Structures are given as structure tokens and as C-alpha cells.
Amino acid sequence: MKKSRKDMVFNLSLVALIFIAVIIVENIPGVNPMLSTVLKKGSIYALVAVSMNLLNGFTGLFSLGQAGFMLLGAYTYAVITIPDSAREKVYMYVKEGSAVSRSWFDNIANGLHLPEGVSNIAIMIIGMLAGGLIAAFFSWLIGLPVLKLKSDYLAIATLGFAEIIRAIFQWDKLGPVTNGSNVLRNFPTFKTAVFPLTVSAICILFIVLLINSTYGRAFKAIRDDEIAAEAMGINLAHHKRLAFVISSFFAGIGGALLAMFQNTLQATPFKSAMTYEILLIVVIGGIGSVSGSIIASFLYISASEWWLRGLDSGKFLFIESPAVLRGGFRMVVFSVIIMIIVLFFRKGIMGERELSVTRFLNFFRKKDGKNEENS
């Protein structure tokens, strides 16, 4: 009890510290703006990775539908929140124009005399929640047939589901809602990394609380041994669906955040490669570790978007060799690192453990001890 409370205080103060640091860093002129980009994308991927971990790591359901649910969340968000004044331009290739309007919200906001900043935040939150709920609803629907399937069949069925969703969203008959395969834009977006960090932190906190609750134990029981879990009175279908729906809800929110991050939205990038990317983040972080997924997300995004970019453009650290370090080399190095982790460090960074102050201290204490022995 005492130990876990100590950890909680530690973790919360760590989160608070990070927030303060981010706010300070973002406001210092001259600090590399790439840092802010990495924080934004990293926090979004952290949320999506943790939600995938809830399913794959904690419940033992190997689902590859993450990109599909993100797509649902992203589109719902965009379609709901584009201001009516911009719709005509956005839906310019759709004969019927946009079938959705946000006048209901604008009327309420005007009626309440909300200042623009507040109403903007409000519609963003409504849009995100709607995105999460739509994703959750579809996951419930698809969960009815596919959750009965065993491991790899489930994986391939959810992968297929994501592809189906992508095709539906590109269908021109749905143009008045989805704008067909054309780009959606002009929806409200965030400017600072504080917004996605806050949203992700709240969502991840909820997931952590869930994992540590009696439901979380039931999920882990299903992962460890389905038959024993069932014999202990845990309804498999119900709990699997619950994990699936909750995971998809947060994937939907993550998708909405990703739409904001990208400023524009199209269905094309939400393909299986995106799911694989998130899965690999989960693997690097450690399947079954929330803090692992978070650390891995930030590491992955910083490395791929920032630190290793030099590998593509001929200059990296002290090496200058345009013939070898050309376009695509970064991703080759990256995938080799991933394969090494998958093959030789199968537990990833954290294994199934979580970041904790006691373990942190023990780590150094033991290490010191070792050093003493050596010397």
C-alpha cells in the first residue's frame, strides 16, 4: 500500500513536472520547434499505443484494427467541427454539399454568449467525444462476430475491418458526409502541445485506473488463461467486448487528435502500415506496460521524425556520406532496430513492469552495490 502510494505521488509529480517543462519550453523563443512537434505527435501516439496495449497487452486480444478506429474518430471529429462558413469550400467537389451542419452548436454557444475561445474548446471536446463514441459503437458492432475468433484470425479480421472502413469512407456516395476521398480541412486544431498532452494524460489516467481495477484484473485473467478465467465466473464475451470497445473509444479520440495534428484529413494514411507502426511501438515499450508504451511513443516519434532525419539527408552525427545516407535509410535503420528488439529483447523497454520510484531507486542502489564489489 505504502509503496504504491509513493509511486503514485512520484508519477503524478513527474507528469506535473513534464507539463510545466512543456509550457516553459514552448514559450521560450529559439527553442527548436521540432520539439513541440514531437511532443504533439508523441502524446497522440502514446494514447493510441496505450489503448492498443489495453487490448493486446492486458486482455490478450491481438487486434490490428487500430487504424480503422482512429479513422472513425478522426472523421467524426472533422465532420462535426468544421465551421459552417467553411463547409462550402471544403465540400467543393460534392454536388450536394455538406449534409452535416454545426449550427446547433453555434446557436447554443451564441445563446450562452460563450467567448470564442471557450466555444472553440467546447466544440473540440464534443467532437473528440463523438469521435470516441462512434469508434466505440463500430467496435461493438464488429466485435459481435469477430471477438469469438482465436488470436491470429482475430488479427486478420480486425485488419480487414479497418480496410473496409477505409473504403467506405472513400466512397463517393457518402460524399455529403465524408467529402468522399477528398481532403477535409478547416476544422479547429490545437496550436500548442499542451492540448494533446492534457487530453492524452487524462485518457491514459483513465486507462491506468481501469487496468488497476477489478475489471483490469479480469482482463489480465483472460489474457493469462481464458478457460480458468471463465471458470472463475468471468464472462468472456462481455469482458472482451468491454476491452475492445474501451480501447476503440480511446483510439477514436487519438484519431481525432491526429486529425488536429495533421490540420487536414484524408482516409488514405489510415492503412495497415499505421497499425503496424503503433503495434511496434507497443512492442518496443513492452507488451503489458503502460509506461513502456508512453516512453516508446516519444522515443519512436523523436527518433523517426527528428533525431534520425539526418540519415536521410546525407549527414548524421559526424558521418557524411550522401551515397549511403539517402532517402529511406532512416527507416531501414529503424526497422533493423525494431527487428533486434523483437528478436533479442522481446520484453521491450519495460517488459510488463511500470515505471516506479522504488524500482528506479533500487536500480541505482543495486548498481552502486555492484560497482563497490568491482572496486
Partner 1 sequence: MSENVLRLENITMQFGGVVAINDLSLEVNKGEIVSLIGPNGAGKTTVFNVITGVYEATNGAVYYEDKMILSNHPQGKMKKMYAGTNADKFPDVIVKTPDRITSLGIARTFQNIRLFKSMTVFENVLTAKHMLKTSNVFSTALRLNYKEEENARNETMQLLERLGLDDVKEELATSLPYGKQRYLEIARALATKPKLLLLDEPAAGMNPQETMALTSFIKSIRDEFDLTVFIIEHHMNLVMDISDRIYVIDFGKLISHGVPEEVQNDEAVIKAYLGVSEEDE
Partner 2 sequence: MFGKLFSTCLPYILSGISVGGQYALIAIGYTMVYGILRLINFAHGDIFMVAGLIMIYSNVSITPLFMNMGFSAESAFIFSIIASVVIVLVLTVLLGLTIEKAAYRPLRSAPRMSVMISAIGVSYLIQNAAIYITGGLAKPYPTKGAAMPWLSDQITVGSTSIKRVTVITPILTILLVLALVLLIKKTKIGMAMRAVSKDFRTSRLMGIEVNNVISVTFFIGSFLAAVGSLLYFTNYASVTPTSGAMPGLKAFVAAVFGGIGSVPGAVVGAFIIGICENILKGLDNILSTAGVFKDGFTFGFATFSDAFTFILLIVILCVKPTGLFGEKNTDKV
Partner 3 sequence: MKKILAIVLAALMVFALASCGAENPTPDAGGKDAAPAGEKVVKIGVFEPASGDNGAGGKQETLGIQYANEKTPTVKIGDDEYKVEVIYADNGSSNDKAPTAAQSLISAGCSIILGSYGSGVSIAASDTFKDSGVAAIGVTCTNPQVTEGNSHYFRICFLDPFQGTVLANLASGEFKASKAYILTKLGDDYSTGLGYNFKQAFEALGGTVVEESFQEGNADFTAFLNTAKSQECDVIFAPTSTEAAQLIIEQSATQGIAVPLLAGDTWDSNVILNAAKGKDVKIYVTTFYQEGGNADFDNGFKDWINADATHLSNNGGDDTVAAVSAMGYDAYYVALEAIKAAGSADKAAIKNVLGSVTYTGVTGEIKFDETGDAIRDTAYVKTANTETGAWDFVREQGVN
Residue closer to partner 2 (CB basis): 185 or 223:
223
Work out which of 11, 170, 198, 356 binds partner 3, going by CB under 8 A. 170
Smallest separation, CB 106 to partner 1 (Å): 31
Residue closer to partner 3 (CB basis): 60 or 254:
254
Tell me which H or E stretch contains 115.
none
Work out which of 225, 345, 360, 361 binds partner 1, going by CB under 8 A. 225
Backbone angles phi, psi at 271, to 5 degrees: -110, -175
336 binds partner 1 (CB under 8 A): no
Smallest separation, CB 60 to partner 2 (Å): 8
321 binds partner 3 (CB under 8 A): no
Work out which of 4, 103, 110, 235 binds partner 1, going by CB under 8 A. 235
202 binds partner 1 (CB under 8 A): no
Q: How many residues bind partner 3 (CB under 8 A)?
A: 49
Distance between CA atoms of 146 and 141, rounded to whole angstroms? 9
Partner from partner 3, partner 2, partner 1, none binding residue 342, C-beta < 5-8 Å depending on class: partner 2
- Three-state SS at 191: coil
Burial of 100 (0-12, 13-18, 19+ CB in 10 A): middle
Q: How many residues bind partner 1 (CB under 8 A)?
A: 28
Output the DSSP codes for 148-160: TS-HHHHHHHHHH
Work out which of 20, 164, 202, 209 binds partner 1, going by CB under 8 A. 209
1-17 core/surface letters (b: 16 or more CB in 10 A; e: else): eeeeeebeebbeeeeee
Half-sphere exposure at residue 162, Cβ-oriented, CA atoms within 13 angstroms: 28
CA 141 to chain centre: 21
Site for partner 3 in 23-52 (CB under 8 A): 30-34, 37, 41
User: Are 51 and 72 within 8 A, CB to CB?
Assistant: no
Smallest separation, CB 97 to partner 2 (Å): 19
Amino acid making up residue 155: A
User: What does the CA dihedral 176, 180, 186, 192 come to, rounded to 10 degrees?
Assistant: 130
User: Which residues lie near partner 3 (CB under 8 A)?
Assistant: 30-34, 37, 41, 89, 92-93, 167, 170, 172, 180-183, 185, 189, 191, 258, 261-269, 271, 274, 299, 303, 305-307, 309-310, 312-313, 315, 317, 327-328, 345, 349, 363, 367
